Structures are given as C-alpha cells and as structure tokens.
C-alpha cells in the first residue's frame, strides 16, 4: 500500500502482538492464547482494491478515487502487467482473561 502513500509510521505503527500483550498484562489480564501470521493480500483487479480500502477505511481515511487517481493508475498498470497487486499484511490473534483477585 506504499503506492497509496500509507507510510510505515502512523498511529498504528506500534500495534503488534508484543505491545498488545504488554498492555493487557499491565492492565491485569492473563494471556490465554496468541498467534501471529504474515502474508499477502492479492488484488487481481482495481475495484477489489478500492472496495477493500473503503471497508478498511482507517488505512486511508481521506481516500477517494479522484484524490488517488495517479496512484490508482499505477496500481492498475501493475495489475495489467503482473496479473495482480500484492499488499503485505501482518496479523495477530490474542485471547486474554482478566485475572481473578
């Protein structure tokens, strides 16, 4: 998503499994289960990417086709040439329970 100007440093930059665990433990929670995964979201057409951005609207709060026309044209070119546009993703799952006093 770097093509759309999503930089690595933003309000969610420190949102990761380690920091989530630390925050929950500091708040008195016990970690029951955790898991991490990394991979790609593959977009085979531009409209699929646009729909994704609209649903996951915190990625680009000011998104509009008009505002991001140049970037969308570049992604469209990549899809035409390579058959898809890959976006990396990092996810984690965390199950916690409030410690009983």
The tens digit of pLDDT for each residue in 49-78 reads 999 999 988 878 889 999 999 999 999 999
For the chain, the first-to-last Cα distance in angstroms comes to 45
Residue 37 has what pLDDT? 94
Strand partners, 41: 87
Please answer whether residues 29 and 99 qualify as being in contact, where contact means their C-beta atoms are separated by less than 8 angstroms: yes
Q: Is-above-0.85 flag for pTM?
A: no
- Quote the Cα angle for 94-8-6, to 5°: 105
């Amino acid at each position: 998503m770097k093509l759309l100007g999503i930089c690595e440093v933003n309000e969610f930059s420190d949102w990761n499994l380690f920091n989530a665990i630390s925050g929950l433990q500091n708040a008195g929670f016990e970690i029951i289960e955790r898991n991490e995964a990394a991979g790609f979201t593959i977009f085979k057409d531009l409209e699929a990417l646009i729909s994704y951005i609209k649903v996951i609207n915190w990625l680009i709060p000011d998104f509009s086709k008009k505002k991001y026309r140049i970037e969308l044209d570049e992604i469209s070119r990549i899809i035409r040439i390579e058959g898809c546009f890959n976006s990396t993703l990092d996810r984690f799952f965390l199950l916690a329970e409030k410690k009983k006093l």
